[in-house]
Amino acid sequence: MSLEAILDNLDEFFKAFGYTLFLFLVTAVASLILGTILVAMRVGPIAVLRVLGSVYVTLVRNTPLVLIFIFFHFAAPIIGINFKWVQVHIGTFDFTSAFATAFVALSLYTACFVCEGLRSGVNAVPMGQAEAARAIGLPFLGVMREVILPQAVRASVPPVASALIAMLKNTSVAGVFFLAEATATMRGLTNDYSSQRIGIFLCFAVGYIVLVEIVSMISLALERRWRIA
Partner 1 sequence: MRLRKAFAAGAAGIAIAAGLAACGDAGNDSEGRDVEAADDCDGKFDEGTRMAELAEAGKITVGVKYDQPGLGFKGATDDVPSGFDVEVAKLLVADLCIDPASSNVTWEETISDNREPYLESGKVDVVLASYSITDDRRKVVGQTGPYMVTGQQILVKEDSDVAGIEDLKGKEVCSVTGSTSLENVKAKGAKGVGADSYSECAEKVLDGTYAAMSTDGSILAGLAAQNEGQLKVVGDEFSEERIGVGYSKDHPEMCEWINGVLEKAFDDGSWAEAFELTLGPSGVETPEPPELDACQ
Partner 2 sequence: MELHGVQKWYGDLHVLQDIDLTVTRGEVVVVIGPSGSGKSTLCRTINRLETVDEGQILVDGKELPQEGKALAAHRADVGMVFQSFNLFAHKTILENVTLGPIKVRKMPKADAEALAKDLLERVGVAHQAAKYPAQLSGGQQQRVAIARALAMEPKVMLFDEPTSALDPEMIKEVLDVMVRLAQRGMTMIVVTHEMGFARTAANRVVFMADGQIVETADPESFFTNPQSDRAKDFLGKILKH
| By CB under 8 A, residue 126 contacts partner 2 | yes
Q: Is the torsion defined by CA of 205, 207, 210, 211 positive or negative?
A: negative
Length of the chain: 229
Q: Which amino acid is at 141?
A: L
Q: Residue 112 or 147: which CB sits closer to partner 2?
A: 147
Q: Residue 4 or 146: which CB sits closer to partner 2?
A: 146
Name 126's Cβ contacts closer than 8 Å, sequence gap at least 6: none
Distance CA 69, CA 71 (A): 5
Q: Which of residues 134-163 bind partner 1 (CB under 8 A)?
A: none
Q: Given phi > 0 = left and psi -120 to 50 = alpha, else beta, which region is 90?
A: beta
| By CB under 8 A, residue 74 contacts partner 1 | yes
Each residue 86-125 as x (binds partner 1 by CB under 8 A) or -, in order, gives: --------x-xxx---------------------------
Other C-beta atoms closer than 10 Å to the C-beta of 189 total 24
* Among the listed residues 71, 178, 215, 219, the single contact to partner 1 using CB under 8 A: 178
| By CB under 8 A, residue 147 contacts partner 2 | yes
Q: Which of the choices partner 1, partner 2, none does residue 158 contact, using the CB cut-off of 5 to 8 A by kind?
A: none
| By CB under 8 A, residue 70 contacts partner 2 | no
| By CB under 8 A, residue 136 contacts partner 2 | yes
